[in-house]
Each structure stands twice: as structure tokens, then as C-alpha cells.
Structure 1
């Protein structure tokens, strides 16, 4: 083992004769020891405070929760979730005579008894021009809205706060009914005269308690007059030309 000799510290015992230098050295040692003891005591108190169960943890808040805070027990973010959708109204009864078209026609009235027309169809001058893309029919709030022909529900829900139901038919047309509280769901098959929902009030420009806006279109922008579909198909007799059959 190698022994390393360090030079004596001035004022340490043996550094020089005399009791004065030895007394100063011991006083400095005592002072340094007191400082070190205070530091160790502070560290010990901090460690015990961290390790002691329940110590150093924030107490649960008392009193009413802050404004806008979710109720206790709710998962974070639940206060921002949209409210659940309103339950669907019960399906109305199918009225007598529903789904029976006029002789030669393939579509029937979506309201019974046959309603008054409060605003007729007006074809737009161009695809996005002004017009009235359907016919408004006078009704009553809560009245059954019926499928004008057999088809498949293409949409049933709310658009800009208004209940809308659309039905795709086998002839390539789509009929639309609004405002309606739907009792059907997308993808369901309905027969002519089956209830689609109940009529809601609040249609703009309606002169009575409630009006049904009934529209029909072919493709995306080709809107048709739905009242024409209630009439029998019109036949036109054309003369045979010289190249016609004998």
C-alpha cells in the first residue's frame, strides 16, 4: 500500500506551536459541522415528506366545482360531447287509401287526403338559378308523410336543422320530403304509402300550420315537377311516315 503524505494545513494541530492556533482550528471545525448537520437535517426532512404516505399530495378541492367543469366522475372531454340524438317519434298509422295511385300513374300523394298545393313547382332557368324545386303541399303538424312509390331510403336525417327523407325508386328518380321527423332509416325498403315520418311545422313561406315540400329529381341537378307523376302517362300518336311498316 502506498502512503501519500499531505502538507499540514495551517492552523491544524501540529502545524505550529501554541494553543491559539489549535483553538481556532477546532472552532472552525465545529462551525462547519453545525452547517453540515443543518443541511443533512433539511435533506432528511424532505426525503421523509416525499416517502411518507399521503404527505405532499394535494387535498381534493372543496366547495362547488368551477363554472364549466364536467360533473364529478365523468371522463375528461365528456362535457364537450354532443348531446345524444332525440328519439324517433312513433311510426304513424298508414291511412286508408295510402299508396294507391291514379289509374295509369305510378306515384301517389305523400299526404292524405289529397292536399292543396300552396306553391307549385317552378323550374330554374339554369342549374343553379332561382326557382322552386318541388311542390309545397298543405298539411298539419304530426300528419303522416307517405312514400309516393316503392323504393329504398337513401337518406333520413337532419340537414341544417330540418328533417329530410329521400327515397330512390326503380325508375331512376329520387323523391325528397321535408320537413319530416323520420321514422325510417337509410337502407330500408319501403312500399308505396308506407309512413316515412310525421310532418313538422316551420316550412318557410307556408301559409298554413305545416307544409310538406315534395321534390323529385333525376340525376343530381335535373329537378322535375312531382305533380306530373300523379297523372297518367300522356300518349302521343305520331303518323307513320313513308318508311314505316306496311
Structure 2
């Protein structure tokens, strides 16, 4: 993937530049390139987007045994490359839409890209808890990516916030490292797919806390606990954990 990080082979002009290298962006790039369009994809993190952060993908057609998220991302990346799509690690800083051509100025690079069209496929970013103490511990105990940060919590207690597919799947994944995984959900039933629920129910390291939301994140020099509000009992209680993984949805 050396060329992903190199800007040495950029063209003077493109037919289309796609912002975002997730499944949507790479698919658009393949279609554009097959139509003989000179195509560039700009991705700020790594090819595949959120898929790359998923441990196991079981519901993508063509892989009856499932496939690792990182492996699926690389296949998408290689597929695009096979059609001469350029995929680059870069962050746009400024845009100029005046005139026939569009110009994209890149962050941390003295490079301006000229293109006829731009396709926006930037996906979404994870929603935050928006509670007291959260900002203080972002990246210091609070994470939005179990695949990225799970190994930092070996033999520790962690909380996963959410009750959907991502929360339950990543909660089970975290049991590879953590001593205990609490899945905190605001309702009395999970929303995750039944097959994911069954995996979690059968894992002795997973404990569910229902009808609760996070009221506050506590700690001095490190994250030490969560204050949970029980929506049914109308009372608060503290949960001692070393880390928190938040999976409560995405915002565009």
C-alpha cells in the first residue's frame, strides 16, 4: 500500500474525485473508472472505511463463511486499483468551485487537485454520549473502535454503550481481551440481530445492564467509573470500569 501514502503519481487533471474511500466511495470509483474516467479517491484514514474496523463480516454476499473486515476492505481497495483507480491518503482543506473545473487543496500538502466533478461519499462519524466527563477522556479511556483499542484493555473491565449490531458484536470481540464486558442499553431489549445476541448471551464474560443510560464519566488521572441512570427505577448508580466503548449510532 505504499502508493496509498504517496502523492508522487498524481495526474494534472481528473474527470472525478471521490471524497471517501469506504464501500460507497470505492464502488463509485470502480464504476467511474470502467467508464474510462480518470478517477481519484481521497480517504483520510484507510481504505474500506468503517468496514475496516469490523472484526467479522457475515452478511456480505459472496462470503458464506464470513470475512474479516480488514480483508474485505483490502479486496475492495485492490478491486478499485485493478481498474486504475488512484486511492490516496489525504484530507481536503479547501475547495474552489468557481468555473468549469473544481479545485481541491489538501491539508498538510502543498498540492491542489483539479477535477471536472466531485462525488461526496464521506460516510458518517460515531455519535458521542454528550455527557459530563466524556470529552476529558476521549482517547484516554473512551473509544469508538474496539478493533483499534481493544488490546489496550487486556484483563480489565470495560463497558460497551448501545444495544444494536455494532455494540453487541464489538462487545463480544472485546471479550478476547477484557476480563469483563458490560453492555449498557437504554431499553429492556436489544436491537441487534438475533444471531449476534445469541453469541453474546452464550459468552460468560458479557453482562447486560438494561434500561440505563450514561449520566457521567468519572475519574481523576484516568477513567475510573460511569454513573448510570436507571430509567425505570429513576435512580443513579456507579459502574467501575477501566474503559468505555460507545456504539450508539452514526451522524452524517
TM-score normalized with structure 2 length:
0.22
TM-score normalized with structure 1 length:
0.22
Q: Flag the structure with higher strand content.
A: 2
